[in-house]
Structure 1
């Protein structure tokens, strides 16, 4: 069994994201996993894209392909958006870290968004698996779950956009070299928006497997597995590649030594203010 158009796209997908996997791993080591988890999420994301591409190629290359391999590839394609959004959230957290004034967004808010994305992944995986069932009711349940997952992705993306606007409104409070990262994040948002839109359209398209897989609607062309491969490349793979390329480029522009000086300067300033406040009994800047 030879490769069809989607199989050939998977080959391109592997060729594109395999180097990104290696470069993201390099950035993770360069910046450090502990403080900058965003690069690690890019490693997860690119790894998922490579594995998903391999799974589809294997499935199409077998004389008697297993539907389970097709389903795995489909689920990975749907769930792969989560680590990309997780990386974006982590980078936003980095931008606001050590800000010179208190920002309204806290670590708790970021944790809640991470939890929502974890829930979305679980729903996408279960929904993709149930969507292949021979039972109409189970397939309908799977479709509902993957649609809910896609709407969660939309909600998280809208929140990311709002946080980005909030950070721009407090630009002067952000450490100088973190503003470079903010520019990169802002540049990636239009491409992420298209990718999230494709996720929603794909989730509301007919099932790829099961008794209703032959149904055709106006959304059928957005189906990841058997829809238009041109749309899949344009609205999914290309948008992901541009967003990740922006992140990786930004990662190479962040000067580590200057960033460390920013850390030390911010921490030193906070310590000096606290010490002055303690020694004067709260009378700072002419306070009484």
Structure 2
């Protein structure tokens, strides 16, 4: 058994249960693109499809089509992971008063992530043909830059959200912590994409690169990112329940909050407030 085939089989074994978990998360949270969990399902499907085609290509080396699509599916996992990150951060920003501008920026960041996905598919397919390889590489370079810009935008929005962390509801704290934990792994994956596009080194080729380099910098990095984000979906309060809860103010009719009421609902007491603060200031 070849190393590439062994890695593909391992991906099948891992991503089948992860797809089941991602489906459960979507059922629990609601199938909404804005929440980001739907993109985790898409990512798992892409990984399963890429692994299956890799196995077929290894056992049928004369077929260029299988190898081409295996490479394409293996190189476009960044987009759904970035979109999932943005969806979770979007949810958190919506729970913070006065952060609508961040929500709007996160929505705009969807554009380069989706364009990067399309450009990556086009570039990956062109790379399979010698007369179009140069054009395909240019597309991959453009896609890598778009993913990098999207990632930097997500990091910037996360950093700007950090000061409000102590006052998040405990559910949002868990989601935000998992999202932050996934960012370093996503950074290594983006670095691999940049090296594959800009460095003239066969080890980083998306079609015939070193499988162990790909395993360490791409496959495992994507896996850890997906694990953290799926864990966030499992821990997070279901979206319907979160919307019903919103703030203690929404449930208490605008009355004065008794001592400890915010803590009971999972919030931290707002800064600068005593125990006789009015509802709706979280």
Does 2:89 correspond to 1:81?
no
Cα gap change, 1:52 to 1:222, in 2 (>3 Å)? same
1:104 shift after superposition: 6.2
Q: What residue number does 1:68 align with?
A: 65
Cα gap change, 1:172 to 1:51, in 2 (>3 Å)? same
Q: Secondary structure at the match of 1:239?
A: helix
C-alpha RMSD of the superposition? 2.3
Alpha-carbon distance in 1 for matches of 2:195, 2:8: 20
Cα gap change, 1:230 to 1:37, in 2 (>3 Å)? same
Q: What residue number does 2:8 align with?
A: 10
TM normalised by structure 2 equals: 0.83
Structure 2 residue corresponding to 1:181, chosen from 152, 175, 180: 175
Alpha-carbon distance in 2 for matches of 1:72, 1:221: 19
1:167 shift after superposition: 0.8
TM normalised by structure 1 equals: 0.81
Gaps in structure 2 of 5+ consecutive residues = 256-277
Q: What residue number does 1:126 align with?
A: 122
Q: Secondary structure at the match of 2:36?
A: helix
Cα gap change, 1:39 to 1:93, in 2 (>3 Å)? same
1:264 shift after superposition: 5.3
Of stretches 108-117 and 27-36 in structure 1, the one that deviates more from structure 2 is 27-36
8 Å CA contact 2:137, 2:197 repeated in 1: yes
Does 2:92 correspond to 1:90?
no
8 Å CA contact 1:85, 1:157 repeated in 2: yes
Alpha-carbon distance in 2 for matches of 1:242, 1:150: 20
1:59-106: CA deviations, max 9, x gaps? 1112x631011111111111121101110110110111131x202634
Q: What residue number does 2:202 align with?
A: 220
Cα gap change, 1:266 to 1:41, in 2 (>3 Å)? farther
Alpha-carbon distance in 2 for matches of 1:25, 1:108: 27
Map 1:236-275 to 2 at 5 A.
Answer: 236-256=218-238, 259-260=242-243, 262-263=245-246, 265=248, 267=250, 272=254
Of stretches 237-246 and 247-256 in structure 1, the one that deviates more from structure 2 is 247-256
1:38 shift after superposition: 1.4
Alpha-carbon distance in 2 for matches of 1:221, 1:132: 17
